[in-house]
Amino acid sequence: MTQTNNRLIDEIARLATDAAAVAQGARREVEGAMRGQVERLLAEANVVQRDEFEAVKAMAVRAADEVDALRARVEALEARLATPMGETAAGSGAGIEGQGPQ
């Protein structure tokens, strides 16, 4: 009887192992199918991938920095143009010769 019990237990263990392997395979198949469906839905929704988003974000940061630098240059040039021609930094007010008050 002991030998019969051992064979029965061995058979149950083998069936449980086989069932676990089948369940694992089914899980992988379901995961693969779900991943494919999600990727298809994201592609149809025009959702960008993370690496593409990060690349565009870096470009936007560089462009914003360049705009700030150009804005500072324009402001400096406008400040230079706002001062009357011929006026020195000390503000002598001498003007250009021949253009003084008459």
Distance CA 70, CA 57 (A): 20
Whole-structure pTM value? 0.44
pLDDT (0 to 100) of residue 87: 59
Rounded Cα gap, residues 10 and 3, in angstroms: 10
Q: What is the DSSP string of 7-66?
A: HHHHHHHHHHHHHHHHHHHHHHHHHHHHHHHHHHHHHHTTPPPHHHHHHHHHHHHHHHHH
Q: Which residues, given as ranges, of the chain have pLDDT below 50?
A: 92-102
Q: Which pLDDT belongs to residue 37? A: 95
Q: What is the pLDDT of residue 2?
A: 64
The pLDDT score that the predictor gives to residue 102 is 46
